[in-house]
Chains A and B, each alone.
Chain A
Amino acid sequence: MKLTKEELEYMKNKPVFQTEGIVRAIYTKLLQKKLKSNPDFKKAIDSFDSAQNKMKKSIIDAEKKGVKIPAELKKYAGL
């Protein structure tokens, strides 16, 4: 079922939705559900995790070999 623009606006304007942020919470929940069921997104997450691990190893290895790693890069890598 799709809401019409008027129905959506009507819901958003209800005090309970404004004060509790229910519209935002529902929207976030729907977005999470949509992303969880998206195989491309899952692949992108795995790919990002793998890239992060590789980056951390490279930075640690470079540091062992005498490369001075700037603090910003360590922070970026979560080291």
Chain B
Amino acid sequence: MAKSSAEIQKEYNEVLKVSQSLTGALNDMVDDTAKSQKNLSDRAKEYNTNLKSIFSSAQEIESTEEAILKAEKLKGELSKRYFGANKKLLPQKEAEVDAGIDILKNEKKRLQLVKQVDDSQQKLTESING
């Protein structure tokens, strides 16, 4: 049976969202790194909570863009959170944050690409229908 335009629109809207499994996996990565880093300071733990909150806020193109900017800003604070006894953990944490940011950047590009295809499709349909 053919899908109604409402069903197609709903499916398209779903495609334009960052999947919950992706943001969940990003948060799992932060949790796993924290588990591997023993004796974390409270400031470092607070940093991880903020980072997970930022990753979770990525829902569609605009909020993903905002999440990238916030995560990049938070990355600048890493050395203030990982100091003293925690300083040796800094390179690992930096690599984890970089990977998280690059994953969000990739997701944003993917969503933009999907949107471009949809826009072209709509224009083509309009031109055929006159």
Per DSSP, chain B at the interface is helix
Question: Size class of B's contact patch?
Answer: 35 or more
Considering the complex, give the chain A residue whose CB is closest to the CB of B115: A44
Q: In the complex, which residue of chain B has the Cβ closest to the Cβ of A71?
A: B25
Query: A70, B95: Cβ atoms under 8 Å?
Result: no
Knowing A51-B105, A76-B103 are in contact, say whether A69-B29 is a contact too (CB < 8 A).
yes
A16 within 8 Å of B (CB atoms): no
* Contact present for B32 and A48 (CB under 8 Å): no
Residue-wise interface mask of A (35-76) relative to B, using a CB-CB cutoff of 8 A (1 in contact, 0 not):
100101100110110011011001101101111111011001
B116 touches A59 (CB 8 A): no
Is the CB–CB distance between B29 and A67 below 8 Å? yes
Contacts of A47 in B (CB 8 A): 109
Q: List residues of chain B with CB within 8 A of the CB of A55.
A: 99, 102-103, 105-106
- A14 interfacial contact with B, CB 8 Å: no
In the assembled complex, the CB of A50 is this many whole angstroms from the nearest CB of chain B, namely 8
Residues of B within 8 A of A69 (CB): 29, 99
Query: Which residues from 1 to 57 on chain A have a C-beta closer than 8 Å to any C-beta of chain B?
Result: 2-5, 8, 27, 30-31, 34-35, 38, 40-41, 44-45, 47-48, 51-52, 54-55
B29, B95, B112, B127: which contacts A73 (Cβ < 8 A)?
B29
Which residues of B are in contact with A by a Cβ distance under 8 Å? 21-22, 24-26, 28-29, 32-33, 36, 91-92, 95-96, 98-99, 101-103, 105-106, 108-110, 112-113, 116-117, 120-121, 123-124, 127-130
